Amino acid sequence: MLLTILIVMALMADTRFASAAPGGAEQVAAPPPAGDTPFDRQGMWIWYVDRSEGGSVGRIVARAQAAGIGTLYIKAGDGGDVWSQFNKTLVGALHRGGLDVCAWQFVYGDSPVDEAKVGATAVRRGADCLVIDAEGQYEGKYAAADRYLRALRGRIGAAFPLSLAAFPYVDYHPSFPYSVFFGPEGATVNQPQMYWKAIGASVRAVYEHTYLFNRLWDHPLYPLGQTYGGAGRKDIVRFRRFDESYGGLPPSWWDWQETSSVGWQALGAPLVGPVLGYRPVVAHPVLKRGSEGDLVVWAQEHLQTAIQPQLPITGIFGKQTRAAVRAFQESQGLPVDGVLGTTTWGSLLNFDPVRPRWAGRRAKRGGGATASRAFPPRRPLSASLPARAYEIDPGPAP
């Protein structure tokens, strides 16, 4: 297993970004426990209702029940536009059919407050949960993510079930503001888009790569698999079995209108349990001096709480961050090497991260007392880093 991980990581190596070498596989990094939420039922995503069983609620309910689907994720908005297909009448009918109904919205970060209003509208229309679909358009937009979440939580409340469905390979996207979306008052659930066939990888490789990095967000991880693009029955069932191996939080699937009869049969097929003889990857990735990206931002936010309140949050692992890691390791009785590996991450994640005010107001021009005050930056230095690659072709927005 360790050799497999090292081979995968060697193919991805780039010293400018966060190293992915396992940081001590002897430490089991179990996911946080799940609760009784809409996420805890196998789900199916709907892009267009009228292209899903012709829009017939009765046929949608029957198909979902036959395939073991308990939650529907229905598109409710795109950018600042509300989609009329997500409405109280539809939600009520699906509820009467025994289904949970969650709304999802595609966001761009250009008008974050308007996008927050779209999400809040879906909640008012009866959504049981809300999913943020943020992808390549959001890379580098820390202030927009901060503003969006503050506006959204102000409208839907701090406890409403909120998920992020984003790129699964965190290390490919060093400027994506995962740390904002998963930070305080952000999303409470992680649904990475683990489309193995679209990525061009095996089901096993997608699980190992995704979980290696996404465990660091310390949120329940519900895999989002694919039934589109020719995904076959064998791989869909295999995806479900790997899900059992990695904790068994129910997966959801993209998407209804592109699922074949073979795909539906695979979703409803009984499982025989986890993959036999397989040992899940339980290590955390290594960060050290020279690492860059949002994972470093996440580490610095935790280090501020745990050991050094004045540590700059830059997304760059330099001398100050290394010194803070060494001080933290010493305070916790850990081996002191200034490197963030599995054991150190395990202790550091016990501390809550700070919440930077990336959307803080700027000083006005013209001097005076206001202009002399210190204002936070709009984003960390690492927010200018380009994506290493796109494991999933971003293409046009869904």
Q: Over the stretch 248-270, which tens digit does the pLDDT of each residue have? A: 999 999 999 999 999 999 999 99
Helix 233-245 vs helix 261-268: crossing angle, to nearest 10? 30
Phi, then psi, of 264 in degrees rounded to 5: -65, -40
> Would you place residue 36 in the very low, low, confident or very high pLDDT band (cuts 50, 70, 90)?
confident
β-pair type (81-82, 129-134): unpaired
Under 8 Å between Cβ of 72 and 94: yes
- Residue 30, pLDDT above cutoff 70: no
Under 8 Å between Cβ of 126 and 91: yes
d(CA 168, CA 134): 12
CA dihedral 273, 278, 279, 281 (to 10 degrees): -100
Residue 186 buriedness (CB in 10 A; 0-12 / 13-18 / 19+): buried
* Out of 141-150, 257-266, 285-294, 389-398, least confident range: 389-398
Domains in the chain and their CATH numbers? Answer: 37-268 (3.20.20.80), 294-384 (1.10.101)
d(CA 138, CA 176): 6
Under 8 Å between Cβ of 144 and 109: yes
> Would you place residue 377 in the very low, low, confident or very high pLDDT band (cuts 50, 70, 90)?
confident
- Residue 272, pLDDT above cutoff 90: no
d(CA 35, CA 397): 31
- Residue 19, pLDDT above cutoff 50: no
Task: State the CB neighbour count (10 A cutoff) for residue 106.
Answer: 22
Percent residues over pLDDT 90 in the chain: 84
- Predicted confidence (pLDDT) per residue in 104-143, tens digit: 999 999 999 999 999 999 999 999 999 999 999 999 999 9
Mean pLDDT of 73-86: 98
Predicted structure pTM score: 0.89
Question: At 277, is the secondary structure helix, strand, or coil?
Answer: coil
Mean pLDDT of 164-189: 98
- Residue 318, pLDDT above cutoff 60: yes
- Residue 375, pLDDT above cutoff 80: no
Centroid of chain to Cα 173 = 12
> Would you place residue 189 in the very low, low, confident or very high pLDDT band (cuts 50, 70, 90)?
very high
- Predicted confidence (pLDDT) per residue in 190-241, tens digit: 999 999 999 999 999 999 999 999 999 999 999 999 999 999 999 999 999 9
| CA–CA distances in Å: residue 291 to residues 181, 225, 340, 369 | 21, 30, 10, 38
* Out of 6-10, 140-144, 295-299, least confident range: 6-10
d(CA 38, CA 35): 9
> Would you place residue 363 in the very low, low, confident or very high pLDDT band (cuts 50, 70, 90)?
very low
Residue 12 buriedness (CB in 10 A; 0-12 / 13-18 / 19+): middle
> Would you place residue 32 in the very low, low, confident or very high pLDDT band (cuts 50, 70, 90)?
very low
For 10, residues 6+ apart whose C-beta sits below 8 A from its C-beta are none
The DSSP 8-state label assigned to residue 38 in this structure reads: G
For 251, residues 6+ apart whose C-beta sits below 8 A from its C-beta are 42, 43, 222, 223, 224, 225, 239, 240, 243
Mean pLDDT of 133-161: 97
Tell me the helices (H) and strands (E) count for the chain, helix number first.
Answer: 14, 9
**What count of Cα atoms within 13 Å lies in the side-chain half-sphere of residue 268?**
15
Q: Which residue blocks in 141-248 are alpha helix, DSSP H?
A: 142-156, 178-181, 196-199, 203-214, 233-245
